[in-house]
Chain A
Amino acid sequence: AQSVTQLDSHVSVSEGTPVLLRCNYSSSYSPSLFWYVQHPNKGLQLLLKYTSAATLVKGINGFEAEFKKSETSFHLTKPSAHMSDAAEYFCVVRLLSGGYNKLIFGAGTRLAVHP
């Protein structure tokens, strides 16, 4: 069965330092993986997606993620954090079940960015 595990519920970084949000997945076939972000009082916004093309995926706002099959990981990174990056981030896998597609969400990682 498909699932995702976000290894940290909270991550705190200083502005200008790198961001690493960790995600491991479990899938019985080649997965489609996503990162979504939710800023306070906003909807869930797609950051980036992996759908079996390039393993290094670039998203919006300077974020990127690398699909590593050998490690079953899809960690989200950004070289330099900005205050506006403070939000909750969700690692998501697409599940095909009964002919329909659903999104399976991780528990979320709340990112705090300090001046």
Chain B
Amino acid sequence: EAGVTQFPSHSVIEKGQTVTLRCDPISGHDNLYWYRRVMGKEIKFLLHFVKESKQDESGMPNNRFLAERTGGTYSTLKVQPAELEDSGVYFCASSQVVFGKSGANVLTFGAGSRLTVL
């Protein structure tokens, strides 16, 4: 079984530019989550998709961030325009059922996309 795949592994952009990060969850996983780790800080929740619907986007920092999951398969996270404080590692995770329900206490994480904004 293929794991959660994230692309690119590392992106370096100038302040003000746009970057799009992509996540391919495990096939058949309806639930997809984005987390990020800003330099020197904890890994924090951004949002949760169930299929193509945003179930919880309470962690999205501001309107420069746009997440989509058209068709309920892969997801993209766009940052436009990027700022210096957006630098960090963006993790994607997926699960077959909603995390926390029926003992489904496991998320499978990808390797992360490292974003560097200069």
Residues of chain A having any CB pair with chain B under 8 Å: 32, 34, 36, 41-46, 49, 51, 90, 94, 96-98, 100-108
Contacts and interface: CB of A to CB of B under 8 A. Distances in A.
B42 A51 contact: no
19 contacts: A32-B100, A34-B105, A41-B111, A42-B111, A43-B4, A43-B108, A43-B109, A43-B112, A44-B91, A49-B106, A51-B103, A90-B43, A97-B58, A100-B55, A102-B45, A103-B45, A105-B42, A107-B41, A107-B42
Nearest to B111: A43
A17 B58 CA distance: 43
A106 to B, nearest CB: 7
Contact of B42 (A34, A36, A97, A106): A106
Interface in B23-70: 35, 41-45, 48, 55-56, 58-59
Q: Is the interface of B mostly helix, strand, loop or mixed?
A: loop
Q: Is the interface of A mostly helix, strand, loop or mixed?
A: strand
Interface string B93-118: 10000111101011111111000000
Nearest to A32: B105
Nearest to A94: B100
A106 B108 CA distance: 18
Contacts of B107: 46, 103
A43 B91 CA distance: 8
Interface string B66-105: 0000000000000000000000000101000011110101
